Structures are given as C-alpha cells and as structure tokens.
Homo-oligomer: A and B are copies of this chain.
Amino acid sequence: MPELDLTVSSADLTRAVCDIPSVSDDETTLADAIFAAVSSLTHLEVVRDGDTIVARTQLGRAQRVVIAGHIDTVPVNANLPVREVVEDGETFLWGRGTVDMKAGVAVQLKLAAELTDPRVDITWMWYDHEEVAAELNGLTRLAANRPDLFAGDFAILGEPSNGQVEGGCNGNLRAIVRTHGVRSHSARAWIGDNAIHHAAPILQRLADHTPADVEVEGLVYREGLNAVRISGGIAGNVIPDLCEVEVNYRFAPSRTPDEAVGIVRDFFAGFEVEVVDLAGGARPGLDAPLAQEFVAAVGAEPRPKYGWTDVARFSALGVPAVNYGPGDPSLAHHDQERVPVAQIDAVERGLRAWLAVR
C-alpha cells in the first residue's frame, strides 16, 4: 500500500495524492492510504464509511467547522504521473486531479495533521464518488449512515476556486426537450413527419436567450441555459420520429428548484419537457459569523460559485458553506489540468491563518 507522509509540503503531498489514481469507483487505494495516515494522529477521532474518511477533533470548542474534499477524479487521460511545468515563470503541478481537487485535499490532510489545537473543533471529510451520479456520492451515503457527523456551524469545501472564497452555488437542472414525428423512408419523406426539423424553434430560443445575472446577498450569480446534447435519427434513409435536446439550466440560488422547473417549462412551452436531474443551489453562506471571520482571515473578496458543488448539501442541512481551494475551475476535467504551486501554498496559509490562531 502506498504511504502518505503528511509532514511534507502541500505541493509534495498534492503530487503524492495525485500519483495514486482514484477515478470514481476506484478510490479504495487512496482511501486506505488516507485512513492509515490520519489513524496515527492521536488528536483526531477517525471514522470510515466505505471509501469516505471522517477525522474530527473533540476539543469541546464552542463552534465546529466541517472541511471537506472529494478524493475521486474523472478518468485519467494520459495525464499522470504529475509533472512540474513552468509557464511564464510560474510553477505548476500538471496532471489529473491537481485542480479537481487533490491539491485542496492535500492542504486539508496537511492541516489535519498539523492543527492539533485549532480555534474551533474541525470535522475533516474526504469522500468518494463526487464526479458521478449524486446517489453514488459518499456524502449521500454518509448522511444516511451518520447524519450526526455533519453537525457544524460552518463548512468549507475544497473545490477549486483559484484560492478565492466562492460563496454558495448555482442550482442545476437538466431536462430532455423532445419533438415527435412519424417515421418513413427518406425517399418518400412526405409520408413521414420530420422530428428533427421540429426542433428548430428549440434551438432558436436557446440561441436567442440572454441568461440572467441575479444578485443574492451581495453576490451576483450568472445563470445559463444551454443545450448540452442533441440526438435524433436512426439511419441515413429514415425520416426520424424523435429528436431529443438535453438542456442544462444553471439557476441562481435565490430560485427554488420548483421555480427553476417552471422557468424551463415556460421557456419550452409547446414542447414535451422531462426533468431528469435537479439540484437546488446554495445561498452564499457569508452571513454566518464564522464565515465573515474566515473571509477576513484569508483576506479575499468573496465571489459567487457558478458551478453546483456539494456546498448545497451542507446548505440544505442548515450549515452555511463556501468553496475555497487552489486551482482554476475551468481547468477541472481538462487534459491540461494544472495548479499553480503558489495557490496551493496560499490556500494552506489562508486556512491556517484562520484555524490556528485562538
């Protein structure tokens, strides 16, 4: 079993964590290594649930912060092992997981080992299956098995945010918009009715749409409504009787999931709409006193998080939560995924500045 030395630098630990591949559904080797590394730390109580590891202090502090990160990645695409690259004088760690989100996990692991006497009690969570369906997510399982472990006054998710504090997140809806027709041989098209042609107004409405900017508790969330997939037709000589446009609506956290469904149904009025995925957003979470102290300590101007993240799970449980991690989220899942070493160090300093000083 590979061993993780939690005393090396966060950058070196990032490299070590990345070099243990842990594509979703194959996290056990890394979970074993994390479990072994944190089990030797006497200031932490460690719980394991499948490939999710929870380690927490029990210092009797007045407040508790949950700090979480997922340990799985999307599939490797010839971008492991990690290598160091220099671009325009800046040093990066390049490879799968460096951004999403093993640099964040590495910082958390290092601080979990180091911070034996933090200002608040801390519950560290490293979990599996974030990059796949929500029902497989380690937090879904943990919330069912051990809801008590989610107790806290504030939560920080290590999702990449370029070392900035990103509050809350947009909600996320996916729907299939369908057109129907009548199948026929394409040599006698007039016998049939072309479902693909009927999809023209669906695409035109999307092309003409200007997404809204919505201010929520001082942060401006940019929405988005897009076709993400389209399919129709079964053969080169058959008039198709079905066309399906999969659309993705990213909605501001001020809208409820039900409101988002209504907006999408109205937008595609006249067409069959089937909602296939729906997750509410999370309000910024920055009004919590701990959040304000955190923002002040790391010295960052909070921004909105556009992508849905597991902060919404904490928000739904009544725990205000923000995203804070190294890496550019637009490089997540990218074949050129890479994180600036300076950001790893900055996030480590930011978290320590807030957690260490009593």
Contact = CB atoms under 8 A, between A and B. Distances in A.
Interface of A: 170, 172, 174, 184-191, 194, 196-200, 203-204, 206-207, 211, 222, 224, 226-240, 243, 245-246, 248, 250, 277, 306-308, 329-330, 332-333
A306 B187 contact: yes
A236 B246 contact: yes
Given A187-B307, A211-B189, A196 B236 contact: no
Contacts of A229: 196, 232-236, 240
B308 A189 contact: no
A331 to B, nearest CB: 10
Given A230-B243, A236-B246, 15 more contacts: A172-B187, A185-B332, A188-B222, A188-B306, A189-B224, A190-B211, A199-B203, A200-B207, A227-B240, A228-B238, A228-B239, A229-B233, A229-B240, A230-B231, A231-B231
Contacts of A190: 211, 222, 224
Nearest to A198: B207
Interface of chain A, main secondary structure? mixed
Contacts of A186: 224, 226, 228, 248, 250
A126 B90 CA distance: 72
B224 A191 contact: no
Interface core residue of A184, A228, A239, A246 (most chain B CB under 10 Å): A228
A177 to B, nearest CB: 12
A99 to B, nearest CB: 12
A226 B239 contact: yes
A252 to B, nearest CB: 12
18 contacts: A172-B187, A185-B330, A185-B332, A188-B306, A188-B307, A189-B211, A194-B226, A196-B203, A196-B229, A196-B230, A197-B203, A197-B207, A198-B207, A200-B200, A226-B239, A228-B235, A228-B237, A230-B232
A13 to B, nearest CB: 26
